[in-house]
Amino acid sequence: MASKFPLLIRLKLFKYIVSLTFILIIIGIIYANYNLYYQSELKKYNGVLIDQDLLKQLNYLGESLDRGIAHEMQLKYPEGLFFSYLMYGLSWCELAKDLPEESSFKKKAIKESMMALVNLESDYCQRNFPKGLSLPNGAFYFSWTNYLRAKILLLSDNFSTRDKLISDFNFNCDTLSKAILDSDSPFFESYSNQFWPADILPGIASLSIHDILFNTIYDTVITHWFNKVESKQEPGEIIFPHSVNDKGIARQSARGSSLGLILILLKEISEINSGGIYVLYNRAYRTSFFNLPMLQEYSGNNSGEEDVDSGPVICGYGSVATIIGAGVFKRYGELDLAERLNQTIECAGYPYENSDTKKYLLGKVPMADFFIAWVKSLKTLEYKTVNTNVNENWRLTFQITSFILISIIVVLLLKINIRKSIIGK
């Protein structure tokens, strides 16, 4: 009889753990459904509406950078440190762009974005990138840093280091322009013999921003570059593949994550009409999961596993592609769809927030936090007629599925509790 009690105790403990797990799952399902009704809290500062959730995210990310999260990200991703500072700096630039110069947020945005740029230009950061390529440190590093410079210059014309920043920016724009005119391929190496078309797009966008800020001198270079891109297009393929060879010919077909990033940047380049590419993207990569909008990483007959570019790919649904997709649809004026994608991200991201900070997935995937913040900060660059026929019941399929799952779990809990009471007797 004595030996029976430890067995009963172990059995009861096991059932308590199972019951607690089921209860936590129920709470998680309810919380996910609640987040499908997420709405950004907007407050007006100096006449400009500011997203309070984005501010909380930037507070959290700023604190994380102070604690060294960028260095932790470098241990996990080849460009972890770079993207951490880049997305943080770009988010501040987008957030404060329309604020007046005297605004405290504008001043903080200049300070934080310049801090990000200083870290990107540091020897520690640059040592992760190759030397001796046609663009210094490779197309990825060169293009994104110049794009950040462009965004800081758009942000303000009144800060102490602006003259130095203009000098660096103009030099890099001229370097890129000469490289484009001297090259047979429109795409440049990011690493030795590794070419990703998305990596040069921030550089092209920086040329277009240059012409907004100063005299129009790069418009013909941009047009020349895009003509080269079109000349490399394979029949039946989307114009921007995921990767190419040294001749600019596709190695990997277009993918949802990289094409989404390209479209966000193309929208800033006035010399290029990206509407046709956007239509193809919408048709090829837009999908849904239980009627929740999502983006695929691969389209048609193309398939592949997840990698460092795609993030987790689950049954074809791309995590990075979906996050970036929210920014694409905002840029191109599909505001209803962008909002639904944001709500889907909130549903899947299980955010935690307090009065000052907000983070996703318990802060265990900081790179997602950086990208979500940047996407939230993006402004709409095209205004379309508001779709008054939006299906307000788009959440219903997910909600019904959630109700069925909760019902099954409740039945299992009741059975467990009945058996526990029998064992107790």
What are the boundaries of each domain within the chain? Answer: 1-37+404-425, 38-394
Residues in the chain, overall count: 425
Q: At 386, is the pLDDT very low, low, confident or very high (cuts 50, 70, 90)?
A: low
Q: Give yes or no for a contact between 130 and 137, defined as CB atoms under 8 angstroms apart.
A: yes
Residue with tokens 């504008």: 106
**pLDDT digit string, tens, across residues 329-376:** 999 999 999 999 999 999 999 999 999 999 999 999 999 999 999 999
Q: pLDDT (tens digit, 9 = 90+) per residue, 411-421?
A: 998 887 775 55
Backbone CA torsion sign across 288, 292, 294, 296: negative
Quick one: pLDDT band at residue 246, thresholds 50, 70, 90? very high
20-79 pLDDT, tens digit per residue, is: 999 999 999 999 999 999 998 999 888 888 999 999 999 999 999 999 999 999 999 999
Whole-angstrom distance, CA of residue 327 vs CA of residue 321 = 10
Strand partners, 44: 49
Q: Which of 5, 99, 84, 82 is nearest to 44 (CA)?
A: 99
3-class state of residue 356 by DSSP = coil
Mean pLDDT value of segment 231-242: 90
Query: In this predicted model, what pLDDT tens digit does every residue of 83-102 receive, in sequence order?
Result: 999 999 999 999 999 999 98
**Cα(391)–Cα(369) distance, integer angstroms:** 29
CB 347 within 8 A of CB 292: yes
Structure-token match 């592609």, residue found: 321
Reported as a single tens digit per residue, the pLDDT across 248-281 is 999 999 999 999 999 999 999 999 999 999 999 9
Query: What dotted CATH number matches 38-394?
Result: 1.50.10
Contacts of 178 (CB under 8 A, 6+ apart): none
pLDDT score of 19: 87
Distances (CA, A) of 292 to 52, 235, 236, 301, 381: 25, 33, 29, 23, 25
Q: So what's the pLDDT on residue 91? A: 98
Pairing of strands 48-51, 42-45: antiparallel
pLDDT tens for each residue of 387-398: 555 677 899 999
Alpha carbons 288 and 308: distance in angstroms, whole number: 23
| Radius of gyration for the alpha carbons in the chain, expressed in angstroms and rounded | 24
Question: CB neighbours of 110 closer than 8 A, spacing ≥ 6?
Answer: 96, 152, 155, 156, 159
Helix and strand numbers, DSSP H then E, in the chain: 16, 12
Share of the chain above pLDDT 70, in %: 95
Is residue 363 within 8 A of residue 72, CB to CB? The reply is no
Q: What pLDDT is recorded for position 4?
A: 54
**Is residue 139 within 8 Å of 199, Cβ to Cβ?**
yes
- The Cα 216–Cα 313 span in angstroms is 42
Give the pLDDT confidence score for residue 7 in this predicted structure: 67
